[in-house]
Structures are given as C-alpha cells and as structure tokens.
Amino acid sequence: MEPADIDTIVYVNGALVRKSKAVISIYDSGFCHGDGAYEGIRLYDGRVFRLEDHIKRMFEALKMLDIDPGVDEVGMSQIVLDTFRANEQRTDLHMRLQVTRGRKRVTGMNPKLNVGPASIVAFVDVKPPIFDKSGITLITSSIRRASPNVMDAKIHHVNQLNQIMANIEANRQGADEAVMLDDRGFVAETNSTTMFAVKNGELMTPKPTYIVVGITRGILLDLAPELDLIPREDDLSLYDFITADEAFICGTVGELVPIKSIDGKPIGTKGAPMPGPFTQALMRRYKAITDTEGTVL
C-alpha cells in the first residue's frame, strides 16, 4: 500500500476516526469560505517536533482571524498528542492541524452567520519528506505573494489559492515548486516552502514580511554561526539565488532540499556535488535536531 493510502486515525471535532470515515459539514467555514488557520506538524520516532512553536503560531493566526478555538494552548497540544498517539505508526507521520470558524446557518462570508463553535480537525497522513533530497527545480511564478496590504502572509491561513495557482504554473512547466516574488519584485518564498541561499560566507533568506515565518527557517538561522556563516534576513532578488554558491528550500513537510535550478539556470558551480557542502552540513544538523528533540508521546 502507498503511504498516502494508509487509513490513519484523524481527529474531527472531539472524535478520533479513520481517515476514510472522517466527515465534516458542508456548511463548515473552512469548506465554504477557506476561513481558518492551520499548522503542518511532524512526528519523528514518537516525538512531536517543535510542538510549542506550532501551537504558538496557530494561536497567533487565530487571533488575527478573530477565531476562538474554544480550547487553550494546552488543550490544543493535547489534541495533537492524543491524535498522534491513536496511530500505530510512530514516524513519518505528518499532521495538518486545522481550525476553522465552524459551521454556518447559511452560506455567506459574514462571521455573524456562524452558529457553532470553531471546528478543530487534525488530519494525519503517513508522509515521508515530500521532495527529492538530491535536488529540485524551480520556476518563477507570474503570481505575486500577497503583500500585508492584501493578506498578511504571516497569518498561516487555510486559504491557499494564491500559492496553489503558482503551484499549477510549476506543474505546467515541469518544475517541482514555484518561486513567488513579492509585489516589489523581491523573492518571497516558494509556493509552500522557505528559501535560503549561501554566498560569500552568508546564509541569506528573505525578510519576514511577505512570507510564512517558518519554524524551520528560525532553526537554520540559529545554526548559521556553527557553520561560520553569517545569518542575513534581507530583501533578496532572483539574482541573489541564481548567483549563489548554494541554494535550498526548507519546511516541516519536506525538510531541507537543494535547489538545482531556477528558470532553467543552474545554481552553483557546474559539475559540483549537490547538495553543496553548507547545505549538506545544515541537512545533517537539522537531522540531528529532529532525531533528538521533540515532545514525547
């Protein structure tokens, strides 16, 4: 059986049920209007990685969206732990913890139409890191990442059409992910991950203005000095990535993955091994952290 088809146990509004049997009202605000927040969380060998960070970011998004989840941070963490515990598999489990504004009396975007409590769902999938660790190809999307004027990208919300449309462009062009620029032309992130470049002794990543402020991103910026790299958060353009010594993407769902090319332009020196030495060292350090840290089930 393919990992994606394994009938895991998921959580739906207080009940632990098989993924194949899980249902929610068509009047749920998430289904009708994409109105909610989510977190992607990984389980490594029976340990939930960076649980507190995920719960904190979830509650920040809910505050911004004015959604009361009906449980506090401790209660939400317990849902995550109980749901993972209900599954036999102890590694390569990925959870999408999602909170929406809940059920509506009738369709319509106005939150006054909501009747029930918020919906809390924890999807669980058997999902090893999703990208080919030997490297991926990117194209630049024609669709811009939303600016804080339109929709603050820091809010980790479920309404992902902006990124899905960029992802479609990548699919059409045979690439793995799409680079999304901000409305000034600087690199924001890929449609689902954070971007990093290594050049002249610096570990560079876009400023946290048009992006989801990644938990993986924070870990890597903290690791930079161990590798004698200077961490730099800045306005970066495609130039900084295409002319970098090394570049990679990162995130909970795919971990660290080197970028082979952007728009057909190869990254790094021709014929050099991929991943490059710094990316490889960061991949090793990240693995050491995920191998040892986390909230034990």
Ligand X SMILES: Cc1ncc(COP(=O)(O)O)c(C=O)c1O
Residues forming contacts to ligand X in the complex (CB under 6 A) are 40, 163, 189, 192-194, 212, 214-217, 251-252
Q: How far is the CB of 188 from ligand X (least distance, A)?
A: 9
- The C-alpha atoms of residue 117 and residue 95 are separated, in whole angstroms, by 22
Q: How far is the CB of 69 from ligand X (least distance, A)?
A: 18
Residue by residue, DSSP assigns the chain as --GGG---EEEETTEEEEGGG----TTBHHHHH--EEEEEEEEETTEETTHHHHHHHHHHHHHHHT---SS-HHHHHHHHHHHHHTSS--SSEEEEEEEE--BBSSS-S-GGGB-SPPEEEEEEEE----S-TT-EEEEE-SSPPPPTTT--TTS-BS--HHHHHHHHHHHHTT-SEEEEE-TTS-EEEESSSEEEEEETTEEEEE-TTSS---HHHHHHHHHGGGGT-EEEEE---HHHHHTSSEEEEEETTTEEEEEEEETTEEPSSTT--SS-HHHHHHHHHHHHHHHH-SEE-
- The C-alpha atoms of residue 296 and residue 78 are separated, in whole angstroms, by 12
Q: How far is the CB of 219 from ligand X (least distance, A)?
A: 8
Indicate the residue among 30 and 40 with the shorter CB distance to ligand X: 40
| 286 burial via Cβ count (<10 Å: 0-12, 13-18, 19+) | middle
Indicate the residue among 199 and 217 with the shorter CB distance to ligand X: 217
Q: How far is the CB of 110 from ligand X (least distance, A)?
A: 27
Q: How far is the CB of 253 from ligand X (least distance, A)?
A: 6
Indicate the residue among 103 and 120 with the shorter CB distance to ligand X: 120
Q: How far is the CB of 112 from ligand X (least distance, A)?
A: 29
| 2 burial via Cβ count (<10 Å: 0-12, 13-18, 19+) | exposed
Q: Round the CA-based radius of gyration of the chain to a whole number and report it.
A: 19
Indicate the residue among 114 and 216 with the shorter CB distance to ligand X: 216
Indicate the residue among 16 and 223 with the shorter CB distance to ligand X: 223
Indicate the residue among 114 and 194 with the shorter CB distance to ligand X: 194
Indicate the residue among 77 and 252 with the shorter CB distance to ligand X: 252
Q: How far is the CB of 137 from ligand X (least distance, A)?
A: 18
Q: How far is the CB of 246 from ligand X (least distance, A)?
A: 19
Indicate the residue among 206 and 275 with the shorter CB distance to ligand X: 206
